[in-house]
Amino acid sequence: MAETTLPPEAIHALAEGRHGDPFAALGPHDTPAGRVVRTMLPGATAVSAVAENGTLHPLTPLHATGLFEGPVPAGNYRLHIDWGGVVQEAEDIYAFGPLLGELDIHLLKEGTHQDIARCLGAHPMEVEGVPGVRFAVWAPNAKRVSVVGDFNSWDGRRNPMRLRQECGVWEIFIPRLGVGAVYKFELLDPNGSILPLKADPVAWQAEPAPATGSIVADTAAIRAAPREIPPGDPATRPMAVYEVHAGSWMRGEGNAPLSWEELGDKLIPYVREMGFTHVEFLPVMAHPFGGSWGYQPLGQFAPQGDFGPPEHFARLVERFHEAGIGVILDWVPAHFPTDTHGLARFDGTALYEHADPREGFHQDWNTLIYNLGRREVRNFMIGSALHWLEHYGVDALRVDAVASMLYRDYSRKHGEWVPNIHGGRENLENISFLQELSNVVAERCPGRLLIAEESTAFPGVTRKASEGGLGFDFKWNMGWMHDTLHYMERDPIYRQYQHGSMTFGMVYAYSERFMLPLSHDEVVHGKGSLIGKMPGDEWQKFANLRAYLAFMWTHPGKKLLFMGGEIAQVREWNHDRSLDWHLLDDPRHAGLQRLLRDLNRLYATLPALHALDCDPAGFRWVVMDDAVNSVLAFLRLGPEGSAPALVVCNLTPVNRTAYRLGVPLDGAWREVFNSDAAIYGGANGGNGGRVQAQAIASHDFEASLALELPGLSTLVLTPEG
C-alpha cells in the first residue's frame, strides 16, 4: 500500500464504513507532499484522476476494500473508474462543498424552517454547473449516515454524508443522479451498529407498497396552482363534503386501483354532478399497510405510490379546482407506525417519538406518538402541513385523532401516563403545536382551512389561537353523529323514548363551528352500512335513510358523507373492493342518489340552509317536544332579505294529517323538498307542492300551516314570492 498522511484509524474507519466525517478524509486535500485526492469505491479495480487537460493521474490503493489515493494537479478533475472491465468517468462527490446555506442551518436549528420540504429530502439541482441530486436528512445522534441505492450498489461505504453539526442534518450531492432513482439512508446508531435501511422522512415520492424505498422526484415541477378562495367567512358558505378512499371508490380491470389520472376522469364529473362542494380524501400520504386506510402514514411529504407519481396527484388537485371543487386531505400528526424502515428510532434513538412509552406508545393502534414538544419534530410536522397546502394547493387539512393529542391520559389507565408540568392531564406541548399550526397556516395560506376530528368537550377547538383556542376553522360534531344514528337505529315505535337524541345537538350547536359527519368510521369494523342500520322492511329502511339524510342536510352545520352512503351501499365498506355501483340499477338505490343530489343543490341555493350555519340567529325551533308523534319542526333563517325555510321531520311510519305548524309569514308556502317523493322511491305523500298559510295563531306565530306529513319523511317549505 502507498504512503499516506491519512491516519491508520481513519483508513480503517472508511474501510469499515464507520467514519463520521468523510469529507475530512475523502476528496481533494492539500498535504505536505502536495495536493492529493482520496476516494472510497468498493469493487473498483483501478481509479485515476482526470485533469482538465485530459491527462490521467493513477491513484494508488490504500486499502483492499477500495480506498484509493493519489496526486492530482490544481483545478477541476474527474474520476476515471475501472469496475473490472466496465469504465465510468464521474465527478468526485467529495469535491463539492457544503450545500445548505447558513439561513437554512439557522432555521433548522431553531425549528422554524417553514419550507422544510425544499430544504431536506432529495432535490435534483445543478451545483457548479453539474446536474445531480442533493440529499439532506436530520439524524443528529447517528455516527454515520450514507445515502444508498442502485447507483452505489446499496453500499453504505460509498456515499457517507457530511454532518452539519449545528443542526444535526447530514447532506451530500451526488452528481449525474436523476429523477426516478430509488434510495434509502443507511445509518450507524450511537453505538456504531448499522440500523435497518431507512426511507427518507421528507421524500417527495415513495415506492408503491409493499416496497419501502424513496424515489427522487422532480420537486421543482410539483406545484399545483391553488384555487382562488372566495373572500369572507367560510362558515357563511355551503360546504358539502364527499369523503373518499382513493383505492376503493371505484376499481379498474382485475380489481386494480385506478391511477390518479383515471380517478380524476371518473370522480371529478361524479362529484360535480352530485353537487358536492368538496372532496375529502382519506390520507393519501405514503403508508406501508393498506389496511390502515392511510391513517398510519410514514411518508408525510409523499403521496401513496400505488396511484402514480406525485405530479399526477398535483394535477388531480388542479383538475378538481378547475371543476369548482375544493380538495381536503386527511392528515395525521398524532402518531406513526413502528415499521423499521420508517421513523421509529430513526437514528438509533427516540428521535421523532417520545422515549418513555407512557408518552410515546399509542396503545389503541400500536403506534408511536410524535414528540411535538421537540422543536425539530414540530417543525417537521408543520412543514408537512404547509407542503400539502402550498405545493399541492389543497384547500384544507382535516386533522385526525385530535382528541388523542389533547390529553396525556387518552385511553390510558391510572399509572400509565405522565402528568404535565402542572400535574394535569392536558398535553400542553400538543396544544401549543396545534395553536402554532393554525397561526402559521393563517399567515402563509390565507383562506385554507383546518378541520378537527375531535370527539371530546375540549373547549375552544374552533376559537382563534390568539384568544386561547386551538385555531381550527371547523370541528367534526361526533356527538351529533352518534346521538342521531342511535335514534335512527331504533324501531320507530320506541323512538319517542329517545327523542332527545335528535334535539340535544342544538343545545351546544354554537359552542363550536361544526361539521356534521357520517364518516367512514360508521361503516367499518362490523358496524355495517348506513342503510343496514335502518330498521323495518326494505321500503322502511330506504324511507328512514332518506328522511335522516334530509334532516342532516337541513340541520345547522357543514356536511360530510362517506362514499357509498349516497347510493345506499348495502355491505360494509371494504378498502380492497370497489363500491357496488351496480346497485344503481335498482330504482330504490338510484332514488336515494337522486335525493342526495337534490339536497346538495337545495342546500347550496337556499341561503337559509347554509349562510348562518354557525350563528344562533339562523335557527328557531317550531316543534321540538312532540316525542309521542316523533315529529320535529324548525326554521332555518338566512341573512336579512332572504327567505326562511321550514323543515319538518316525521320519523314514524304513520302519516300525520293536518299537522299544524306556526310560520313567520302568511301567504302560500312552497314544498321545495319532500323525501317521500316518488322520484326518490317514496310513496308520494305530502302537500302537492304548495300549501296556503292560515290566519290561525300557532307556536308564537300569527299564521300557520296545516300540513300532511308522510310517514318517515322530511319536508322543506319556503314562502312563495
Catalytic residues: 400, 453
Report which residue type is found at 87.
V
Tally of CA atoms within 13 A in the half-sphere of 295 that contains its CB: 18
Question: 596, 599, 664, 677: which is closest to 636 by C-alpha?
Answer: 664
Which DSSP symbol is given to 257?
A: B
Nearest to 165 by CA among 209, 109, 117: 109
Q: Which residues contact 24 (CB under 8 A, 6 or more apart)?
A: 10
Cell of 397: 387539512
Cα 720 from Cα 708, distance rounded (Å): 18
SS3 300: strand
Q: What is the DSSP string of 451-490?
A: EE---S--TTTTS-GGGTS---SEEE-HHHHHHHHHHHTS
Q: Residue 689: what are its φ and ψ, rounded to 5°?
A: 90, -10
Number of H helices, E strands in the chain: 14, 37
DSSP letter for each residue of 320-361:
HHHTT-EEEEEE--SEE---TTTTTTTTSS-SSB-SSHHHHE
Q: Distance between CA 483 and CA 176 in Å, rounded?
A: 60
3-state DSSP of 22-83: HHHCCEEEEECCEEEEEEECCCCCEEEEEECCCCEEECEEEECCCEEEEECCCCCEEEEEEC
Polymer length in residues for the chain: 721
Distance CA 352, CA 88 (A): 40
Instruction: Determine the Cα–Cα distance for residues 256 and 561; give it in Å rounded to an integer.
Output: 25
Cα–Cα nearest to 396, from 333, 303, 326: 326
- In angstroms, rounded to a whole number, what is the distance separating the alpha carbons of residues 190 and 194? 10
> Could you give the CA distance from residue 172 to residue 386 in angstroms, rounded to a whole number?
25
Q: For residues 6 and 2, give the distance between their C-alpha atoms in angstroms, rounded to a whole number.
A: 11
Q: How far apart are CA 38 and CA 22, in angstroms?
A: 10
CA 548 – CA 568 distance, rounded (Å): 12
CA separation for the pair 51, 74 (Å, rounded): 8
Non-local (6+) Cβ contacts of 104 within 8 A are: 113, 119
